[in-house]
Structure 1
Amino acid sequence: MTTPSGTVRQLIREHHAQLTQSERKFAQALLDDYPGAGLSSITQAAANAGVSTPTVARMVQKLGFKGYPAFHAALLGELQAKVSGPEARRAVWAAEAPDSHLLNRFAEAVTQNLRQTFAHVDTAQFDAAAARLASPEGRLYVVGGRITRSLAEYAFTHFQAIRARVTHLTSSSATWPHYVLDMTEGDTLLIFDIRRYEENLLRLAEIAQARSMQVILITDQWSSPIASVAAHTFNCWVEIPSAWDSNIATLSLVEALVAAAQEHRWPEARDRFERLDALFELTRLFRKP
């Protein structure tokens, strides 16, 4: 039996319909305390969830693991991947790198990231998030972290052209209370958070959710802790042969959401584009052909 691909969280979602009621009870206990609930012995994990040891053994096999040790090792691997810094990431790639040129390995990794990312997007969730991002009824706030702030700025620029009342939070969390002051029920927070996850972003998301806002999270394949308060979570595969993670799949997902939001707002978005172009003409920003 080969080791299943994807995180344990994703495998639970994919196989949820095949699980019995008691197996789903353990699966939910694991999701509620992920991945901690699965890092103890099988006996302790079963007892903590209030199910039998055979129930846990059957569930992990349904997920594609040979047994609980392989399941346990997969969770440990995810935990290690979440906290690894650039040096550790490069060490993994350097140890496993084939003899082919870096460009070929890079292209292969990026292609795989795109394939995995879009294969794991739930279309109903995507449509709901796009409609929410397009809706002018509430204000849209966009924020990113140390690395993802460029993605947040990119998303902000496009959504601001599509709809009104879009705010880009600065990269300094010291200024966030000024934005939070105006956040109300019905608003939306689009937030980017990839490993190593940022505590200030989690706190901001918790405050937004407490104010009855909808949080839309774009994260990596291991999932930011913000997923626990997000209405919609999108996982993007990010590993490449580098000390750094890739934003290519993440950017592609953002562009897909922008395109979907634009369609939701058409022809209002078209009118907004035309008025924006007229303003650009006044500023003479762009060179005429």
Structure 2
Amino acid sequence: MNSESTIPSFLGELIKQNSTKLTDADTRILNVLVSDPVRAALENGKEVSSRAGVHPTSAIRLARRLGFKGYPDFRAYLQTNLIERGEDFEHASARMAARLVRAEESGLLASILDGEIAALEQIRNAVSDADIRSFSRVLQTSRRIFVFGAGHAQALSHLISRRLTRSGYDTEDLSNQMDHFPERLVSITSEDVIWLNCFRRPSRVVLEIRKIAQARGAKVLALTDLAGARIKPAPDLHIAVSRGEAGQPQSLVVPMTIANAVILDLAAIDDGYTMRSLAEFKSLRASLAYECQ
């Protein structure tokens, strides 16, 4: 590639800068690239040329006209645009394609593991023990705990609700009760706490629950990724952490790790309540299993 200073950061700017040099074949290829940038970042020059209906070497000539040494450099440029300048990766297809782009160098499983490890490592600097303790203190002193999450966050909400219930805390997973939402929300009081899990932009339901909690005086805890952090009014306590960079898997392990840390810390401060409840649950489960034999 020529000096980076001569290559605009965005494809649209690059096309405008070189518009007078472009041939009909170039235009056909660019139409193919622009119409499906996700696919364009994965294909080689021959495949792109074939889709455009032009000579197999046309993509190479286009790349050179745009200032690149060859099509591999141009393709790397397209991949960088997809990975680093892909906005919020709102579309699942774009996020998947970005992961496949990264996987080409190190292998699919290795790239996923690298992404998970990197996402977990950054928690050390993003979340403190004090953040975890602030969550567990509120849970310990609440009358009831309501948990809610939509989409991928729903799975985390199920896990939190089950673990807190086994620990002896009166917990309801609102994610499972969408048909009975009004009945459940109308019973919330200032003695209760709502734990919201939100990945990517907050849904309308998340924002409505937050407003209802504020009106009824219930405290709100929020565990979100950076994209889901825009909850208004602001939660009483909020842990926002990256689940991975663009082009990496958006890790569920990160928020699950934080949730597990909160529940473990709760067991450390509730004077043995969690331990006694878990022992009772284990005994009850063993008894029920025996009766079913």
TM-score in terms of structure 1 length: 0.65
Q: Distance in 2 between matches of 1:237 and 1:227?
A: 19
The answer for the alignment partner of 1:5 in structure 2 is: none
SS of equivalent to 1:225:
coil
State the partner residue of 1:262. Answer: 267
Larger Rg: 2
Q: Give the 5 Å matches for 1:202-221.
A: 202-221=207-226
The equivalent residue for 1:121 is 127
Shift of 1:95: 4.4
**1:29 matched residue in structure 2:** none
Equivalent position of 1:112 in the other structure: 118
Structure 1 residues 153, 282: closer, same or farther in 2, change over 3 A? Answer: same
Change (3 A) 1:272 1:97: closer
Gapped regions of structure 1 (runs ≥ 5): 1-76
How far apart are 1:170 and its partner, in Å? Answer: 3.4
CA contact (8 A) 1:262 1:269 kept: yes
Return the offset for 1:93: 3.4
State how far apart, in whole Å, the 2-side matches of 1:101 and 1:231 are: 42
Measure how far apart 1:158 and its partner are.
Answer: 0.8
CA offset digits 1:57-104 (Å, max 9, x no partner): xxxxxxxxxxxxxxxxxxxx89931x6121122233344555111122
Give the aligned partner of residue 51 of structure 2: none
Asked if 1 retains the 8 angstrom alpha-carbon contact of 2:98 and 2:247, the reply is no
Change (3 A) 1:165 1:224: same
1 CA distance for matches of 2:160 and 2:178?
Answer: 19
**1:105-254 residue pairs with structure 2 within 5 A?**
105-135=111-141, 137-171=142-176, 173-226=178-231, 228-239=233-244, 245-254=250-259
Paired residue secondary structure (1:246): coil
Count of residue pairs the alignment pairs up: 210
Query: Which stretch shows the higher mean deviation, 255-264 or 124-133?
Result: 124-133
Choose which of 82, 85, 94 in structure 1 pairs with 2:91: 85
**TM-score (norm: length of structure 2):** 0.64
Report if the CA contact (8 A) 1:146-1:171 is conserved. Answer: no
Q: 1:144, 1:171 within 8 Å by CA — same for their partners in 2? A: no
Alignment RMSD: 2.8
